[in-house]
Amino acid sequence: MAIEIKHLTKEFGPKVAVNDLSLTLNDGQVLGLIGQNGAGKTTTFRMLLDFIKPDHGTILFDGQPITQAIRKKIGFLPEERGLYQKWTIEQQMLYFGELHGMKANTIKSELKRWLKRLEVVGKPNDKVQTLSKGNAQKVQLIATLIFQPQLLILDEPFTGLDPVNTSLMMREIKQFSDEGARIIFSAHNMASVESLSDHLLMLKNGNTVLSGATNVIRESFGRTRIYLESPISDAELLGIEGVISITPSNLGRMLKISDEAVGRVVFERVTSSTNYVPAFMQTPPSLDEIFRTEVAATEVKL
Amino acid sequence: MTNAWLIVAKQTYRTRLKSLTYWMLVLSPLLLAVFSIGIVLLFDSASSSNDKATLAIVQQTQLTKDLKATKALNAHVKNIATENAAKRQLKDADIDGYLIQTGDSFKLVTSATGNTSINKDTLQTLLTQFKVAAMAYKLNISAAQLQSLQAPVDLKIQQINSKDGTANTDTNRGANSALSIGIGVLFFIILLFYVQIIAQEIANEKSSRIMEILLAATSAASQFYGKIIGVFSLAITQILLYIIIGAGAIAIFKDNRIFQSVRTIFSNVSLSFTLVTVIMLLLAILMYLTLAAIIASLINDQSQVQQAVQPVTYIAMIGYVLSFIVAQSPHNLLINLASYVPFISQTLVPSRLALDFIGNSQAWCAIGLQIISVALLLKFGLKIYERNVLEYSDESIYKQLARLIRGK
């Protein structure tokens, strides 16, 4: 289910929630949606799911507007999670599954498989209110995935998850994308976006600030960071023209340089015949850095 | 491919059908009916039993003969020779009481421990009759003359039934106004129960954010109509149960004496009355459910359910209160107009039909108006529901409602 969003705009009174958003998501692609609170992420999801209508622009799924048949193939995990507390795990799955066009018998057998796969401590007949928070989170994830969605829309999927569930969530997202599902997720946590998404969209106050393949975006900022493990002193490094700052990082230091070419000078200086250098890595800034320094602080339009 | 609204409706229906509160509502009026019928039957069997009191009359053979002959006094009557003998027999519980004449007055002595009683009023009447007959005999008045002297003036009270011209007596009037108040109370309870259910259903899904998952899989229309239809099916189930049980009871008890007397009292409760009442109740339930669903879409969390239900309760209360007024001032202009107002008509029309203040044509007219408002409410309600069900406003329900009414 390829998704094409063209010139999407939504206004709430005087406030522009989403402004002229366009993107395309093809089979097997994972799109990370980044932005601060109020950037327009949830509004974008709500328009995708047809909860609200855009003021301008179109959203097409495989070339057509959303239909009941398409909805059935969408797995949605809302930012604020919710389950029927007084129902059993199986009752919820039967209801959600049936709404997505599954047969009761398939749901029951799939549920058993999922409970085992995510190592949920609980039986299908346990009421949700008796589950621990971690297990309830897993059940919520099962409710989103049990009907084998072809499009996953996950609003802040990692928020509130414990480390075990975070890695489970990552594993399942990768699994689904390997099987050809399209995935859109939003996140505050840049590390997850960096490791999961091959495309990213960065929003600020409804405007698209960055959009494209994750590595291309990073490269576009130039390889202006050097991770270095070497006995050479800070003073000597700062003496090199083009070295802007040095910060301690892990076992070594992180150098910020004015442009890529400076890297070569630094390399030659630290790798003299007497110095042993366990680590020298010249990289673009991390997404987190791009987000914090480039996007959150100033308006950058690409 | 099954329709999404059908899945929503089925799920709502199944979950609620298994709940205890639903069955408490359904069964409580039935239990009340069984209980009242049981009491009536118990009293009936007690009074018709052969356990009659035995009354001894001291030295009055003529009186004994007369009392035996009238049979009005529900007791065995026998003559006894002396007061002492009577006292002894009363002590031994062979008799329940004795009657003795001293001069012009009579004295009835009964045992305080006896469990069967002699009706004193009837006895007094019979004794007066006996005395009058004895005086008449002394004054040479014949039996026919005496009867004509005693006959009261004949004042007949009759009301003509507008429907079929049959006479409507005072007993009918009283019974029917009780019926009209009963309808008012019962409908009020039923409406509020279902309003509460649908408000809770929507509030639960909205406040727990399940609504977003549901709306992603279906649509606001499927949710809105599915919920209403699911809860409405519960109401239909309840009414069907009453109809089946009622019809069964009628079939079993149709030859019963009490049942037949009840039937004469409720002469207006015909098949067409039942039909109009049931249709109006169902339409009213549908209307109230839709209204409650619209208001419930404004809820943020469970604690606001009562706040949301309250405005609906006030509307239901109007019909409830007016149904009491119907019996008092039936031809009040306000009542007359209110009978056509949807949301209120469901209690007024059956009440006034029971009391014969309106005919079937007016009732069907009110039903027509109900159908129109249900259709409009369902159509425009969806728009309001759709807009609000995913909005979490900080304002109170009342403020949001006021804003809705102002059309902002």
pLDDT at position B114: 57
pLDDT tens-digit readout, A215-244: 888 888 889 999 999 888 899 889 999 999
* B209 closest CB neighbour out of A49, A78, A144: A78
Q: Do A76 and B4 touch (CB under 8 A)?
A: no
Cβ-based contacts under 8 A for chains A and B:
65
Determine whether B209 is exposed, middle or buried from the number of CB atoms within 10 Å of its CB (0-12, 13-18, 19+): middle
Q: Does the distance separating the beta carbons of B2 and A78 come in below 8 Å? A: no
> Where does the pLDDT of residue B398 fall: very low under 50, low under 70, confident under 90, or very high at 90 and above?
confident
- Please choose, from the candidates B325, B327, B363, the residue with its C-alpha nearest in 3D space to the C-alpha of residue B346: B363
Of A39, A34, A66, the closest CA to residue A53 belongs to A66
Asked whether B6 and B226 are in contact (CB, 8 A), the reply is: yes
Confidence category of residue B333, pLDDT binned at 50, 70, 90: confident
Query: Is the confidence at residue B281, as pLDDT, over 90?
Result: yes
Kindly determine whether residue A143 and residue B215, on different chains, have CB atoms separated by under 8 Å.
Answer: no
Distances (CA, A) of B265 to B168, B173, B268, B270, B358: 9, 8, 8, 12, 19
In this prediction, residue A302 carries a pLDDT of 41
How sure is the predictor about B119, in pLDDT bands with cuts at 50, 70 and 90? confident
The domain spans of chain B are 53-150, 171-405
Q: To probe the interface with B, which of A50, A51, A88, A103 has the most B CB atoms within 10 Å?
A: A51
For chain A, give the mean pLDDT: 89
Of these ranges, A60-74, A153-167, B223-237, the one predicted with the greatest mean pLDDT is B223-237
Which among A49, A71, A99 has CB closest to B7? Answer: A99
Give the residue numbers in B contacting A (CB under 8 Å), as ranges. 1-2, 4, 7-8, 11, 15, 204-205, 208-219, 390
Cα angle value A176/A182/A186 (rounded, 5°): 95
Name all domains of chain A by residue range, CATH numbers in brackets.
Answer: 2-219 (3.40.50.300), 223-283 (3.30.70)
Closest chain B residue to A70, measured at CA: B217
Q: What residues of B are in contact with residue A95 (Cβ under 8 Å)?
A: 7, 11
Q: Which residues of A touch B212 (CB under 8 A)?
A: 51, 76, 78, 80, 82
CA distance A61 to A70: 8
**pLDDT top residue among B351 and B157:** B351
Poorest-pLDDT segment among A93-97, B145-149, B300-304: B145-149
Give the number of other CB atoms < 10 A from CB of residue B294.
Answer: 25
Question: Which residue is closest to B387 within chain A, CA to CA?
Answer: A52
Contacts of B127 (CB under 8 A, 6+ apart): B63, B106
Confidence of residue B113 (pLDDT cuts 50, 70, 90): low
Decide if pLDDT at A87 tops 80: yes
For residue B214, the chain A residue with the least C-alpha distance is A96
Q: Among B1, B15, B390, whose Cβ lies nearest the Cβ of A51?
A: B390
Nearest CA in chain A to B2: A101
Q: With 60 as the cut, is the pLDDT of residue B161 above it? A: no
Structure tokens at A142: 């099962």
Max intra-chain CA distance, chain B: 102
Query: Above 60 in pLDDT, residue B50?
Result: no
CB atoms A98 and B218 under 8 Å: no
pLDDT at A295: 63
Does pLDDT of B1 surpass 60?
no
> Does A98 sit within 8 Å of B2, measured CB to CB?
yes
Q: In angstroms, what separates the C-alpha of B212 from chain A's closest C-alpha?
A: 7
- Asked if A189 and A160 count as a contact pair (C-beta separation under 8 A), the reply is no
| Alpha carbon distances (Å) from A134 to A130, A155, A163, A172 | 12, 18, 10, 16
Is residue B63 scored above 90 in pLDDT?
Answer: no
What local confidence, expressed as pLDDT, does residue A300 receive? 44
Six-digit token pair at B34? Answer: 């069984």
With a CB cutoff of 8 Å and minimum separation 6, the contacts of A201 are A21, A23, A31, A32, A33, A34, A208, A210, A211
Angle (nearest 5°) at CA B391 between B390 and B392: 115
Which residue in A46, A52, A71 is closest to B218 by CB distance? A71
* DSSP state letters, B147-167: HHHHPPP-----EE-TTT--E
**pLDDT in the model for residue A125:** 94
- Report the C-alpha gap between B51 and B75 in whole angstroms: 9
A188: Cβ contacts below 8 Å, ≥ 6 apart: A156, A159
Helix (H, G, I), strand (E, B) or coil at A131: coil
Q: What percent of chain B has pLDDT over 90?
A: 30
When pLDDT is cut at 50, 70 and 90, the band that residue B116 belongs to is low
Here the tokens at position B55 are 């009354």
Closest of B229, B219, B218, B210 to residue B293, by C-alpha: B229
Look at residue B165 in the predicted model and tell me its pLDDT.
44
More confident residue, B278 or B138: B278
pLDDT tens, position by position, A25-45: 888 899 999 888 888 899 999
Q: How many CA atoms lie within 13 A of A18 on its CB side?
A: 29
Name B77's bridge partners. Answer: B55
Chain A residues at the B interface, defined by Cβ less than 8 Å, are 46, 49-52, 68-69, 71-72, 74, 76, 78, 80-85, 87, 95-96, 98-101, 143-144, 153
Mean pLDDT of A177-203: 87
Tell me the C-alpha distance between A171 and A164, whole Å: 11
Q: What pLDDT is stored for residue B249 in this prediction?
A: 84
Residues contacting residue B140 through CB under 8 Å, at least 6 positions apart:
none
Using a CB-CB cut-off of 8 Å, the residues of chain B touching A100 are 217
Q: Test A83 with B208 for CB contact under 8 angstroms.
A: yes
Distance from CA of A49 to the nearest CA of B (A): 6
- Predicted local confidence at residue B167, as pLDDT: 46
Displacement of CA B120 from its chain's centroid (Å): 34
Which residue of chain A comes nearest to B203, CA vs CA? A84
Cα of A292 to nearest chain B Cα, Å: 30
CA distance B313 to B296: 13
Across the interface, whether the CB atoms of B216 and A100 are under 8 A apart is answered no
Contact A99 B217 (CB under 8 A): yes
pLDDT at B378: 94
Report, as an integer, the average pLDDT of B38-60. 72
For chain A, report the end-to-end CA distance as a whole number of angstroms.
Answer: 28
What integer best gives the mean pLDDT of chain B? 83
B210–A83: do the CB atoms touch at under 8 Å?
yes
Contact between A77 and A138 (Cβ < 8 Å): no
Tell me the chain A residues in contact with residue B8 when contact means C-beta distances shorter than 8 Å.
Answer: 99
**pLDDT, average across residues B210-233:** 94
Query: Which H or E run includes A168?
Result: helix A163-178
The two tokens of residue B105 are: 């007055």
Does the structural domain B53-150 have CATH classification 3.40.190?
yes
Chain A closest CA to B235's CA: distance in Å? 22
Sign of the C-alpha dihedral, residues B206, B208, B211, B214? negative
- B354 with B184: CB under 8 angstroms? no
**Location of structure tokens 């009916």:** B33
Single-letter amino acid code for the residue at A267: F
Going by pLDDT thresholds of 50, 70 and 90, the confidence category of residue B257 is confident
Mutate to test the interface with B, among A46, A48, A52, A68 (most CBs of B within 10 A): A68
Residues of chain A with Cβ-Cβ distance to B15 below 8 Å are 87
pLDDT of residue B359: 84
Mutant choice from B11, B213, B302 vs A, greatest count of A C-beta within 10 A: B213
Among left, alpha and beta (phi > 0; psi -120 to 50; other), residue A30 is beta
Give the list of residues 6+ apart from residue A16 with CB closer than 8 angstroms, or none.
A9, A10, A205, A206
Chain B environment of A46 (Cβ under 8 Å): 390
